[in-house]
A and B are shown apart, each in its own frame.
Chain A
Amino acid sequence: MINRECGVYKTTYQSDMAFFRVPLARSTIIVVLVLAAIVIPFVATDYWFGAIILPFVIFSIAAIGLNLLTGYCGQISLGHGAFIAVGGYTAAIAYIQGVPFLLSVFLGGLNSALIGLLFGIPSARIKGLYLAMATLAAQFALPWVISRVVPFLVPTGLAVAGGDTVYPPAIYIFGWQVETWLDRYFISLAFLVLLTIFSMNLMRSRVGRAWIAIRDHDVAASILGLDITHYKLLAFAISSFYAGIAGALLVFFYFRIAHVNEFDLGLSIRLLAMIIIGGLGSILGNFFGVAFILLLPIFLNRLLTTVGEAAGIYVSTGITSGVESLIFGTLIIIFLVVEPLGMAKLWENIKDYFRLWPFSY
């Protein structure tokens, strides 16, 4: 990760496949965790939690999930926005029906995994761009299904306006009420840490190696005896499980409302942008990408308003959203032209430079 690898010689296969490949990695991760768990709660204000930190944590979960599918297994999905919606709705409805909180989040993930599996079935026969477009079907069909099914599942009074909007009630975990941003942050962080460790371990396992083989050359992988359909479907299921968990947390903690319009094609595209800008097939890159995509609009918005105020011009929301989209698009293009492999690769380059620094000859 962020540590230098120089001076470490691996003498066994175990050490090569270890979770912490460099002794320093353990301390780095402990420092990061301490920062996240102790320093951030003291420093951050409610605005920071609500606008930046909480969405960062939750979207990181979804992005890791998509990265497992796209970055490691090589299957492009344009339907993750809808899978997130499925998770969010399932969890919210389960909770309203009296299922305990943690279980309903899990149910959200599980249902999303099932739906993801369903839409992953075409991957048995098609791939590449054709598959990417097939997942687009999920993005357009699922919100429609949700808005038709949800009204039957929610007691009247909780679903509003057209029946596809659900408000989850106050949240209790074993009798403890989750009400502050700090509580929400800690619970989401726990999910993120668990799921990150799970994904890193997964990539060290047989499954992870199979996924990478399929991504690099699926025909070769199948000749080697891998059941590629099985592994592709597994990738779809696990990836949408992550999306479902993220969806549940989004609905419970961030939006605090489930509404299909929040989970549109734009969300799927933003998720893809996160993992591509961050770096495909890199867990660390994920976090970079999520931070970039989430912070950029906020930053641009602030900048425009400040500039507008300084110049004495009123900047309407139409103009800000136009400029935002314009600069956002430009930055994505510039980024891909400069470094098509994303921020993770940039980071590697910087590390490579400093590996031998200051004696780089």
Chain B
Amino acid sequence: MEFFFELFVNGLLTGTLYALVALGLVLVYKASEVLNFAQGAMVLIAGFMVAVLIYLGIPALAAVVLGAAVMIGMSFAVERLVLRPLVAQPIISLIMVTLGLGLFLEGVQTLASNIWPVYTIDIGIPRAPIDLGGMLILPVNVIGAVMAVILFGATGYVFLYTQTGRALRAISDDHEAALSVGVSIKRLWVIVWGAAGTIALVAGLIWGTRMSVGFSLSLLAFRAFAVVILGGLDSLVGAIVAGLLVGAAENLVAGYVDPIVGGGTKEFFPYLLMLIVLWVRPYGLFGREIIERV
């Protein structure tokens, strides 16, 4: 039973990070109906950037702030150069353009890592696991979970109680109606991409501390796609629930099934879970059903 709880709790803690990356995806999707395939690369480049800044001798806090500033600056560029020209194009062109953006960012990272060979981030989080009544838990996971809760709280607050949040809910309901009452979609796009960039930065820091700042970060963030689909593409609550669900479930499956089948189930189990849920609920757990007419 102790084994079960250790797997479960650690899974949930990982799940908060999935939920965090999923939050970035859901925000972008709600505002622009684009599924951002560059999110993984954004996580990678943000984490790497902070790692390099620290490596160059800039204090950790300043490095994080600087990193966030660059990610927000990037969101302006993305809105202006990539998204605006592609308004009202088919889904697949939008998928491809974010994939292109991802390749671009990964290229930048590969190039930069040839100049500054940095693979770890050290922002002063202790590495030794904490013993919690027999369970071993990494401090970085706890900090990640706390950050996730803070960011989710902040997003929820913005969505429910501010004018920007109202505008975001409006455009996710109906683009044209929102435009007609004077909501500026261009401004909101910059905001959501900036938010997604900041979220990617946090995720990059936490994951980068846990593992290393390398290509695997970008792949790990791919699992967040399973999370958003599972929760529903346009649901913030879905992102949280599905994130925790995927985190816990994959850890439990890996813990119990891996020894029998020889490992590797973690790589695809989230997608399998997603498939099963989609079979019952085609728009994810909390996604809004799209009603179509001819």
Interface residues of A in 246-261 (CB under 8 A from B): none
Interface residues of B in 127-169 (CB under 8 A from A): none
- State the CA gap A269–B262 with chains docked (Å): 28
A337 within 8 A of B: yes
B293 touches A219 (CB 8 A): yes
B97 within 8 A of A: yes
B114 touches A322 (CB 8 A): yes
B179 within 8 A of A: no
Task: Give 1 or 0 for each of A317-361: 1 = CB within 8 Å of chain B CB.
Answer: 011011111111111110011001000000000000000000000
Contacts of A125 in B (CB 8 A): 278-279, 282
A223 within 8 A of B: yes
A209 within 8 A of B: no
- A130-B93 CB under 8 A given contacts A136-B271, A217-B294: no
Q: Kindly provide the distance from the CB of B129 to the nearest chain A CB, expressed in whole angstroms.
A: 29
Q: Kindly provide the distance from the CB of B77 to the nearest chain A CB, expressed in whole angstroms.
A: 11
A-B pairs with CB below 8 Å: how many? 151
- State the CA gap A328–B90 with chains docked (Å): 21
B65 within 8 A of A: no
Q: Which of B96, B225, B268, B279 contacts A133 (CB 8 A)?
A: B225
Please name the residue on chain B nearest to A218 by beta carbon: B292
Q: Which of B91, B102, B112, B219 contacts A76 (CB 8 A)?
A: B91
Q: Which of B100, B278, B292, B293 contacts A333 (CB 8 A)?
A: B100
Contacts of A324 in B (CB 8 A): 107
Contact segment of B13-21, B81-89, B182-190, B192-200: B81-89
Question: Given contacts A280-B90, A318-B110, could you give 10 more A-B pairs where the C-beta distance is less than 8 Å?
Answer: A122-B275, A129-B35, A133-B274, A134-B278, A141-B271, A322-B109, A322-B111, A329-B101, A336-B86, A336-B100
Q: What are 25 A-B pairs with beta-carbon distances under 8 A?
A: A76-B92, A122-B275, A125-B282, A130-B233, A133-B226, A136-B225, A136-B226, A137-B274, A265-B222, A272-B96, A280-B90, A280-B92, A318-B113, A321-B110, A322-B112, A323-B111, A325-B104, A327-B107, A329-B105, A329-B107, A332-B97, A333-B101, A336-B93, A337-B82, A340-B93
